[in-house]
Amino acid sequence: MSRAVLVEAPRPTIAAPAAAEETPAQRPSRRWRRAVSPVVLVVAWEAAARTGLLPAEKLPAPADVVAAGWRLTQEGTLGVHLADSVTRAAIGMLIGGALALALGAAAGLLRLGDDLVDPPVQMARMLPHLGLVPLLIIWVGIGEELKITLVALGAFFPIYFNTYAGIRDIDERLVEAARTCGLGAAARLRHVILPGALPSLFLGLRLAIGAAWLSLVVGEQVNAQTGIGFLMMEARDFSQTDVVLLGLLIYALLGLASDLGLRIVERRVLTWRRGLRAT
């Protein structure tokens, strides 16, 4: 007597819903949506200033701030101050960033570097670098060196710690697999360690940009003859609130532009990374 063989039919598999990708047509509308809240705040500020809810001597209307900027631009002074501030920020970021990358890589890759470099850096980060201004004045004077040193100190710590953390967070099994495949130290550094540390490094750069501009605000208020900070201090002496607000707006726009440019570079460099998207 033949036996019947029961074969279980394969169950249909249900594919997991794919994450909704943002289409190029949706990106302009999203950019406009992000601009809604700033525009609403500016309109409310303008209305409150024009109706007298905000005293003009304390908080001028945005239109008055823009008019002050246009006046200084026509006079040719705003461009000079802006160029000097950007130059100081760029030099300080370059010095502080290069030193932080070198020390962070040494501490992250080498046991000897970790033992020698990381303890003093951990101690130094507890000190507010803006509180070191009196000591820095004694060390480097009150000239351009003070402004650049403050910017370099502000940029150093975020880049150092994110470089260190980015290297240490790499899965050691990936490094071992690369070694097993015959990759030398230089090849492992290029193909495994550098790509693994880049996301953390970009985060450190974004934090460093904000700290650099904050440090520059303080530095340019100490015996400066040019710069946005000097322009604000001079306006304070003459009770020109609109110029003071203009300086704050310029600092905010410079920080925003720097962060936006870095995010664009990050998006192009880290094309292989697929993170969680907001829904």
Q: pLDDT tens, 43-72?
A: 888 888 888 888 877 888 888 889 999 999
d(CA 269, CA 68): 40
Region 239-249: mean pLDDT is 89
pLDDT at 15 over 50: no
Highest-pLDDT range among 17-21, 96-100, 231-235, 274-278: 96-100
The whole-number pLDDT of residue 5 equals 44
| Listed residue (186, 190, 248, 246) closest to 64, CA to CA | 246
Give how far Cα 22 sits from Cα of 177, 262, 264, 265, Å: 35, 21, 16, 19
Q: Lowest-pLDDT range, 75-79, 187-191, 209-213?
A: 187-191
Region 216-236: mean pLDDT is 86
Tell me the two tokens of residue 88: 């100081």
Q: 129: burial class by Cβ within 10 Å (0-12, 13-18, 19+)?
A: buried
Residue pair 81/230 in contact by the 8 Å Cβ criterion:
yes
pLDDT at 13 over 60: no
The whole-number pLDDT of residue 29 equals 62
- Specify the residue for token string 């303890």: 119
Q: Predicted confidence band at 9 (pLDDT cuts at 50, 70, 90)? A: very low
| Listed residue (80, 87, 110) closest to 225, CA to CA | 80
Q: Lowest-pLDDT range, 11-25, 68-82, 86-100, 171-185?
A: 11-25
The whole-number pLDDT of residue 8 equals 47
Task: Please report, as a single letter, which amino acid is at residue 13.
Answer: T
pLDDT at 90 over 90: yes
Tell me the two tokens of residue 40: 């609403």
The whole-number pLDDT of residue 32 equals 74
The whole-number pLDDT of residue 26 equals 55
Residues 146-176 as b or e (16 or more Cβ within 10 Å = b): bbbbbbbbbbbbbbbbbbbbbbeebeeeebe
Per-residue pLDDT reduced to its tens digit, 118-158: 999 988 888 888 788 888 888 988 888 999 999 999 999 99
State the DSSP code for 132.
G
Give how far Cα 82 sits from Cα of 23, 46, 209, Å: 38, 26, 16
Per-residue pLDDT reduced to its tens digit, 250-278: 988 888 898 888 888 888 888 877 665 65
What element of type H or E holds 39? helix 36-50
Question: What average pLDDT is seen over the chain?
Answer: 83
| Listed residue (243, 253, 228) closest to 87, CA to CA | 228
- Specify the residue for token string 């726009």: 253
Q: Lowest-pLDDT range, 85-99, 145-159, 168-182?
A: 168-182
Residues 6+ apart with CB under 8 A from 184: none
What element of type H or E holds 204? helix 194-219
What element of type H or E holds 102? helix 77-109
The whole-number pLDDT of residue 157 equals 93
